[in-house]
A and B are shown apart, each in its own frame.
Chain A
Amino acid sequence: MLIMRHELLLIAITVILLLVEIFLPAGKKSRIITPVILLMTAVMILGFIPGPTGTLFGGMYQTSALVIMFKNILNIGALIVIIQSADWLRKPENAEKISEYYILLLSTLIGMQYMVSSGDFLMFYLGLELATIPLAALAAYERFKEKSAEAGVKLIFSSALSSGILLYGLSMVYGTTGTLYFAEVGPAFIGTPLQVLGFIFFFAGMAFKISLVPFHLWTADVYEGAPINITSYLSVVSKGAAAFILTILLFTVFSKIAMLWSNVLYIIIILTITLGNLFAIRQQNLKRFLAFSSIAQAGFILLGMIGQSQYGMATVIYFILIYIFSNLGAFGVVSIISNRTGLENIDDYDGLYRTNPKLAMTMMLSLFSLAGIPPVAGFFGKFFLFAAAANHGLYILVLIAIINTIISLYYYLLVIKAMFLNRSDRAIPKLKSDFYSSLGLIICLVGIFAIGIFSTIFEVINGLSFGLY
């Protein structure tokens, strides 16, 4: 029981929500917002209490200290998204569907938690699907908007396709090794041609989920159409979970063909970072902009995987943690402004600093963190990732990545330019932000500063990475 405490707690909230939904009179649905946030906070804090680790269901489910910590990171990300969406949910057009929102969101979170602690491919696949399908419903949450409905459909089609590809690959893995358990597949996975083919299909499926180039084409449309809070959830929590489990699988199950996947990664990293950045430059809509920037960031995450070292594992998790805070900070600002004014283009942000200095500051610091500018945490995350890749002598790859950080700095500066440098007669008027939106942004800012300056966090992660199964 206690081994699975994270999932069980979340399931408990979901069930409570289902029951409350039955008894709550229509028109009073917004009353559950605060209790849900409190409950989720409690779950997040409870997750940090040390507890037993081990395997369940004969090895289908397994946790280690590292996995538990990653679940806590996912909880933090989900909690921030939930806090940030409070204001948006209070809008009249969403008021009737509040509990659905929470139930769907928590279901995907449960799916991710099962996925990251799966011990065989079946459980992995179940978790992955549970994490994906409710997301499509969430993307189409504002179904009165054409774009939102479109986003839902695109997401469900592309994830169905990618799941199919992934399953096809898994069937080859099963066919050649005769088992689905990670612990047993690993030794048997020696890189026969069929196994390699299976791996390629599997990897392509995962690349869809993490939106790596060339499997990224669904990302921009879905991110643009979906409600902002869902977009931020998709781009941060969901992507982080998939990247984490991919790292674990590459390091354990596919460790015998490390040479092969390192080469694949090498090319994918260059493509992902470069194309993501080049497309981001051209975007006007901030959601699309952040979508492409998040494609590029996913490429950076892969830098830590290449080379298959414990240190690389630690940098991946560390970077995901920083990325959660930085990206949610940026999305938080976009979400506040979009909810109040409906404006989402970079041009609309002209002169924002003069009317809303706090929002503009938060946005700037988040973007600096994404770009990797000190003293905010992104700098440390990027530096350590580059160090992880340089550790294996991949200086050329690191150089390409570093040059890309400069390209990314360019387009992040475009937003900062709009907010700080440009002046506008039609600047967004002074917005009074509500309690939850401010709280969400403050949490992000604290995270952005604290994670870099206090080295303890990285050391804890690094220490746990050595306990990788």
Chain B
Amino acid sequence: MSFLILFIIIPVLTSIGIFFSKTHMQVKWTAVIGMSCQLILAGTLIYLFLAARAAGNTAEILFSQDVVWYKNLNIHFFIGVDGVSVAMIGLTSIVIFAGIFASWDVTDLPREFFTSLILLAAGVFGFFISLDLFTLFLFYEIAVIPMYLLIGIWGSGPRHYSAMKLTLMLMGGSALIMLGLLGLYFNSAPNGGPLTFNLIQISKVTIPMAAQRFFFPFLFIGFGVLGALFPFHTWSPDGHASAPTAVSMLHAGVLMKLGGYGCYRVAVFLLPGAAHEMAWIFLILTTIGVVYGAFGAIWQKDLKYINAYSSVSHCALVLFAVLMMNQTAMNGAIMQMISHGIMTALFFALIGMIYGRTHTRYINEMGGLMKVMPFLAVAYVIGGLASLGLPGFSGFVAEMTVFIGSFQHNDVFHRVCTILAASSIVVTAVYILRVVGILLLGKIRNPEFNHISDAKWFDRMSVVTLILGITAIGMAPLWLSDMINNGLVPVMQRILLAGPIIH
């Protein structure tokens, strides 16, 4: 039995434990214990993975396990990890751990809140360890559906509208994915033999071009909806703004990465021929997304909207890099997912904490918060600097890798896209610095703010975890990028085989 299954069992057990907890404190501590186990488990996984690779184990998938589930459809419960999924699992466990602490003051139906939150996490973990497309899709939907309750019950603002919009758009995306997966399944054995959902097996065959052309848009757009692909990103600002703190963290930090990961792992990896042909369409869309998201953030006055639009921009950059289809850019895409995941989780956590103290999210109504809540303010500045790509933080490493990778294409189209996308960094700097200036520096405008207190211990716990993540990647990016590169090798081989080598 592979220990990877624990990644699903622990959250499920935790949510069952929470469901039977009596008091508010019990609920929270059960959640903390469960997710600490998960964090330790993720740490162990990273260690074991690196150790196995160092020991010379070059298998494509490690710790795999294959159990037949539905025999006559050849559906398996097939789990295993490579470098990329290990990195994503690490990200998820950090964000969910911080998320538990960030939602320490949920008082309305806490049991249900934490149960849904952790079930959502179970779906995400399941998604990242699945190598069978059927279970991958199953976990994808499990991860999406609790959002409806989480935003609808515990959200703020027009929460019913946002929850419905988000759920329907994401499920619409999953409808496209389902069709794409069925298409992959029925074309998974072009030379005869049993049909399969096994991702690794499908990656060994060449799917007929006609089928690739038909199904690639379904898969890419389907996953792209969750990855905030322009113009299917509109659920994101509304959803993030209405969601409660921990949900925004988890959603922007992890769930949107499911989209990017799916595009990379399923759409581009399994249908590389069509990806080469159609990349230009989606490259235009993602370039628009990167620039549009950054400009969108400038105009917003609500902190959460600012961060939501900045997420759209950053996540579009992930898809942008995936579509560049060379090793460096792909590596950058994964790095960007991890970096943005932690960074945006930090932002949302801080926004939640600031809102909890000032009871407003409008930047014009705040000012001089540095004086009253220095800890949170400094954390915000750190997050901001990471977001605009200052060296030493994770954002710099990721964006640098992406743009170096995409500039390796020497044709005009790719260069223009790269330059446009890179220009978004300047815009990012504008809105980040503007917010920092108005929000944290200057005089305190509202006298009531004089009485607010700085971060409590649980706030600090959440923030410190995330900042550690950002700086660890920023200071020593090599171990992470080596691990990712390792996982990218088979993917790149398949992509290069399928299409014209563009350099």
Contacts and interface: CB of A to CB of B under 8 A. Distances in A.
Q: Do A and B bind each other?
A: yes
Contact of B72 (A368, A386, A405, A462): A462
A49 B367 CA distance: 77
Contact of B145 (A373, A384, A421): A373
Interface stretch (A218-226, A234-242, A391-399): A391-399
Given A420-B149, A459-B71, A395 B179 contact: yes
A98 to B, nearest CB: 39
A455 B138 contact: no
A413 B146 CA distance: 12
B253 to A, nearest CB: 23
Interface in A445-469: 455, 458-459, 462
Interface string A394-432: 010011001101100110010011001100000000000
A398 B138 contact: no
Contacts of A374: 138-139, 141-142
Given A395-B179, A402-B175, A410-B168, A459 B70 contact: yes
Nearest to A396: B179
B486 to A, nearest CB: 31
Interface residues of B, number: 33
Contacts of A399: 175, 179
B80 to A, nearest CB: 21
A413 B167 contact: yes
Nearest to B12: A375
A379 B135 CA distance: 12
Contact of B152 (A387, A390, A421, A458): A421
A406 B172 contact: yes
B164 interface: yes
Contact of A420 (B152, B167, B182): B152
Contacts of A405: 175
Given A387-B73, A413-B167, A406 B175 contact: yes
B138 A386 contact: no
Contacts of A393: 186
A421 B179 contact: no
B141 A409 contact: no
B152 A417 contact: yes
A160 to B, nearest CB: 40
A383 interface: yes
Interface string A364-385: 0000100001110001000110
Interface string A171-209: 000000000000000000000000000000000000000
Contacts of A459: 70-72
A403 B73 contact: no
A417 B139 CA distance: 23
A91 to B, nearest CB: 34
A390 B183 contact: yes
A294 B29 CA distance: 43
B70 A458 contact: yes
Interface residues of A, number: 31
Interface in A260-315: 311
A455 B69 contact: yes
A459 B141 CA distance: 24
A64 B182 CA distance: 32
Contact of A395 (B73, B159, B167, B214): B214
A409 B141 CA distance: 13
The listed residue with most B CB atoms (<10 A of its CB), out of A374, A409, A410, is A374
A417 B160 contact: yes
A421 to B, nearest CB: 4
Interface string B70-82: 1111010000000
B310 to A, nearest CB: 28
Nearest to A391: B186
Chain A interface, DSSP helix/strand/loop, else mixed? helix
Nearest to B175: A402
Interface in B360-383: none
> Which of A375, A379, A391 counts the most chain B CB atoms within 10 A?
A375
Contact of B179 (A368, A375, A391, A398): A398
B182 A386 contact: yes
A395 B164 contact: no
Contact of B178 (A402, A416, A420): A402
Interface string B54-84: 0000000000000001111101000000000
Contacts of B176: 402
Contacts of A398: 179, 182
Contacts of B185: 387, 390
B179 A402 contact: yes
B203 to A, nearest CB: 21
Given A417-B152, A417-B160, A421-B160, A379 B138 contact: yes
B255 interface: no
Given A398-B179, A402-B175, A459-B70, A368 B145 contact: yes
Given A383-B178, A402-B179, A416-B148, A375 B160 contact: no
Contact of B182 (A390, A416, A462): A390
Given A413-B148, A459-B71, A421 B163 contact: yes
Contacts of A384: 73
B279 interface: no
Contacts of A458: 70, 72
A375 B142 contact: yes
A2 to B, nearest CB: 30
A461 to B, nearest CB: 10
A395 B181 CA distance: 11
Contacts of A387: 73, 182, 185
Interface in B102-144: 134, 138-139, 141-142
Nearest to A404: B175
B171 A406 contact: yes
Nearest to B145: A373
A387 B179 CA distance: 9
A94 to B, nearest CB: 37
A455 to B, nearest CB: 5
A462 B72 CA distance: 8
B469 to A, nearest CB: 30
B10 interface: no
B175 A420 contact: no
B72 A395 contact: no
Nearest to B143: A374
Contacts of A391: 186
Contacts of B145: 368, 373
A405 B186 CA distance: 21
Given A383-B134, A455-B69, 17 more contacts: A368-B145, A374-B138, A386-B179, A386-B182, A393-B186, A402-B178, A402-B179, A405-B175, A406-B168, A406-B172, A413-B168, A417-B164, A421-B149, A421-B152, A421-B163, A459-B72, A462-B72
Which 10 residue pairs of A and B lie closest in terms of their CB atoms, listed nearest first?
A421-B152, A402-B175, A390-B182, A455-B70, A374-B138, A374-B141, A462-B72, A406-B172, A406-B171, A373-B145
27 contacts: A368-B145, A373-B141, A374-B139, A379-B138, A379-B141, A386-B178, A387-B73, A387-B185, A390-B182, A390-B186, A398-B179, A398-B182, A403-B172, A403-B175, A405-B175, A406-B175, A409-B167, A409-B168, A416-B149, A420-B149, A420-B152, A421-B153, A421-B160, A455-B70, A458-B70, A459-B71, A459-B72
Interface of B: 69-73, 75, 134, 138-139, 141-142, 145, 148-149, 152-153, 159-160, 163-164, 167-168, 171-172, 175-176, 178-179, 182-183, 185-186, 214
